[in-house]
Amino acid sequence: MMLIEKKAPADAEATEYLLLPFDVRCKCRFRSRLLSGEEAGLFLERGTVLRAGDLLLANDGRVVQVHAAPEAVMEARSGDMLLLARAAYHLGNRHVAVELQPGLLRFGRDHVLGEMVRGLGLAVTECEASFDPESGAYGGHGGHTQPHGHSADGEGRGPRIHDMAGRGR
């Protein structure tokens, strides 16, 4: 089993690839399989959130590039940037992880959130796509991880912006 305990320099060249969904990329200790099929154990610094494109250094010297796996998401598209900003604000106010791209908001599939965004005037579609949300104001800077009792599913579960730095314990 390949052992990975740290990130590789940004100029390193990847020879292996790891395809992971967002919830796994928020963990610092886990087992997975490379695209080649080889098993890998990751033991990264506490609070590490892997982003699409990150490079990891295996203990045997190989470099592994992280890719965001397709997963169940909802997308809202619009040329109206104010409308997208309003939706991003309301999703963020609920501590929901959101990916921002030009003309696009992407968030984890949740019918309640989808209806909220539709109610703001945006068309929302469900699809399978890679999900690489913003790290938030606290990303990489610590932050608290106590649930507030509100989240995407209303039960205090699901990715919340301020939890991203503290995940994976």
- Of the candidate ranges 2-6, 89-93, 141-145, 155-159, the one whose mean pLDDT is the lowest: 141-145
CATH 3.30.70.790 domain locations along the chain: 70-169
- Residue 57 in this model has a pLDDT that exceeds 70: yes
* pLDDT score recorded for residue 129: 97
Tens digits of per-residue pLDDT, 68-127? 999 999 999 999 999 999 999 999 999 999 999 999 999 999 999 999 999 999 999 999
Domain 70-169 indexed as CATH 3.40.50.720: no
Tally Cβ neighbours within 10 Å of residue 41.
15
Q: Is the pTM of this model over 0.85?
A: no
Classify domain 2-68 by CATH number. 2.60.260.20
Q: In this predicted model, what pLDDT tens digit does every residue of 16-50 receive, in sequence order?
A: 999 999 999 999 999 999 999 999 999 999 989 99
Strands in 55-58's sheet, in edge-to-edge order, are: 16-20, 63-68, 55-58, 2-7, 39-43, 29-33
